[in-house]
């Protein structure tokens, strides 16, 4: 197991930020420059598994291609057999899942619109760059104390297929997190930016209400609800949500992707003059937001 103060790939491990099932994330220092970065490194047992290594390297390769203030940037990949890892920018923050688990609804409410706009902006950039995130959820939204957001985790992100490849595309298996998966992801259809819009709608819903649009007794039960059930309005769980924002989120959660907003830029435009909560101050029209 990697340990604090150990040097790996020329970086000194300073503090453990997160531990997952197959990997850990550390704050690290590059001794030569004294600059701080973050390192995602596979746990020893996971490093022996070919598919886990492939997922890590895929995530890293996607991240090196993306440069946007609302998307975490990955700088280096180390394919060492003993300690495969990658280096990314260090962004002191926590995930929105952490805020939800701590029931920090005061922070969520204060920063909701700022976070929602940045989330849509970052995804719009990914889509314009030819990628679908495919795992949009609060866990993958890093937000600092000032409300600045960056998307992370591109392990199952996929290129947007073009031309005839769209017609014949089929995922070997459904990929994503059941509470946020669009119907087309469940059906293993071609990656499409509107799948991310569905996941973003489910994420907005949970951040506004404290619960996802659907719950199930089993994963299959939950997936069936994603395919067939209409979600309750967010106002059923939080009466402070405005009518217009509830309507936008329900549109984002449409079962048919053609019924959702066509792009994240459309979501951004729709939000321009909206309030998330009735008790929010009146919005300021920010004019044309650019990606």
Instruction: Evaluate whether 86 touches 39 at the Cβ level (below 8 Å).
Output: yes
pLDDT score for 288: 41
pLDDT score for 290: 38
Instruction: Evaluate whether 282 touches 242 at the Cβ level (below 8 Å).
Output: no
pLDDT score for 291: 38
Q: Which of 48, 46, 38 is nearest to 20 (CA)?
A: 46
Domains of the chain, each with CATH number or no CATH = 7-89 (3.30.200.20), 94-271 (1.10.510.10)
3-state secondary structure of 119: helix
Indicate the DSSP class of residue 71.
B
Strand order in the sheet with 35-42: 7-8, 11-19, 23-30, 35-42, 85-89, 74-78
pLDDT score for 164: 59
For tokens 């029931």, the residue is 103
Q: Which of 212, 215, 214, 267 is nearest to 245 (CA)?
A: 267
Identified catalytic residue from 104, 135, 153, 221: 135
171 vs 185: CA distance, rounded Å: 9
Q: Is 139 a catalytic residue?
A: no
Q: Which of 184, 183, 191 is nearest to 231 (CA)?
A: 183
Please report how the helices 264-271 and 193-209 are oriented relative to each other, as an axis angle in degrees rounded to 10: 40
> What count of other Cβ atoms lies within 10 Å of the Cβ of residue 264?
25
pLDDT, mean of each 10-residue run, the chain (291 residues): 92 95 96 96 95 96 98 97 96 96 96 98 98 98 97 96 67 87 95 97 98 96 97 98 98 98 98 93 53 38
- If 0-12 CB within 10 Å is exposed, 13-18 middle and 19+ buried, where does residue 152 land? buried
pLDDT score for 281: 76
pLDDT score for 57: 98
Q: What is the pTM for the complete model shown?
A: 0.92
């Amino acid at each position: 197991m990697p340990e604090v103060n150990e040097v790996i790939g020329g970086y000194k491990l300073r503090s453990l930020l997160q531990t997952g099932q197959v990997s850990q994330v550390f704050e690290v220092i590059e001794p030569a420059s004294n600059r701080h970065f973050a390192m995602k490194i596979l746990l020893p047992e996971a490093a022996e598994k070919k598919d886990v290594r492939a997922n890590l390297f895929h995530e890293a390769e996607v991240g090196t291609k993306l440069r946007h203030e609302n998307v975490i940037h990955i700088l280096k990949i180390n394919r060492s057999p003993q300690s495969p890892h990658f280096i990314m920018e260090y962004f002191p923050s926590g995930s929105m899942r952490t805020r939800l688990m701590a029931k920090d609804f005061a922070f969520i409410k204060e920063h909701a619109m700022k976070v929602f706009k940045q989330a849509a902006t970052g995804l719009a950039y990914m889509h314009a760059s030819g990628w679908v995130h495919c795992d949009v959820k609060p866990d993958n939204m890093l937000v600092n104390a000032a409300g600045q957001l960056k998307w992370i985790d591109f392990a199952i992100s996929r290129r947007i297929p073009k031309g005839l490849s769209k017609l014949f595309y089929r995922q070997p298996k459904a990929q994503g997190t059941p509470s946020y998966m669009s119907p087309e992801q469940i059906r293993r259809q071609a990656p499409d930016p509107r799948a991310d819009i569905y996941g973003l709608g489910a994420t907005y819903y949970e951040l506004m209400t404290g619960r996802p649009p659907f719950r199930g007794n089993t994963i299959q039960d939950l997936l069936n609800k994603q395919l067939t059930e209409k979600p309750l309005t967010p106002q059923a769980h939080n009466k402070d949500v405005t009518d217009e924002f509830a309507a936008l989120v329900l549109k984002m959660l449409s079962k048919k992707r053609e019924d959702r907003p066509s792009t994240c830029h459309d979501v951004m435009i729709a939000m321009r003059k909206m309030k998330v909560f009735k008790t929010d101050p009146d919005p300021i029209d920010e004019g044309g937001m650019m990606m």
